[in-house]
Amino acid sequence: MKKATKEEIKEIHQLFIDKYSDAVTELDYKNAYELVIAVALSAQCTDKRVNLITPQLFKKYPNPKSLAEADIKEVKELINSCSFFNNKAKNIINMAKRVVEVYGGEIPMDEKELVTLAGVGQKTANVVMIEYTGANLMAVDTHVFRVSHRLGLSDDTTAIKTEATLVKKFKNNLRTLHQGMVLFGRYICKAKNPKCDECFLTSYCKTKESFKV
């Protein structure tokens, strides 16, 4: 696969900043507790689906303490239309328990602390920090992974390695780049049938059809 040149990387960077400067997550949340849960549930599940599930969940368990004491069966029932709901129900309850026991009921706003919570990996921690604090971090989901490969920004085989490559190449405005790449991958540079006629980056594209992830 052809790699993007330094000049192309600079131009791609600017185009994303110009187009997506106001972009934010499409997940609905009111506070850090709700955001962590929404991001954790969104793994292998669409934001639209998560937004249908969370109102009832947050109504019943409005804070970490109430979720920490929840009956797992009831939590499973509330999130059962989400992928991997058995595992996610267990994780969000354990996450809430740790938040109560270790952090006094407050979500820690530090990526090193966040990854100690059940169900929170590096990607989830970074997404929370990007969204909630505007942190200069990159998080790689399937959309960002696909877009960065199609644009020749990365040929890494894992999300974590792709993240490190993008951080090194872009350095700043990572928050806007992350949000922009997610939305661009979700609505334009889709895995199947990408909307190349609507794309503002066609001249930088290295693969168009061949990279499906």
Which residues are known to be catalytic?
123, 141
What would the two tokens of residue 174 be?
């990572």
CA–CA gap between residue 14 and residue 30 (Å, rounded): 31
What stretches of the chain show up as alpha helix (H) in DSSP?
A: 6-20, 32-41, 47-60, 64-68, 72-79, 85-103, 111-114, 122-133, 142-150, 159-170, 174-187
User: Per-residue b/e over 180-212, b at no fewer than 16 CB within 10 Å?
Assistant: bbbbbbbebbeeeebeeeebebeebbbeeeebe
Q: Identify the CA nearest to 115 among candidates 40, 32, 181.
A: 40
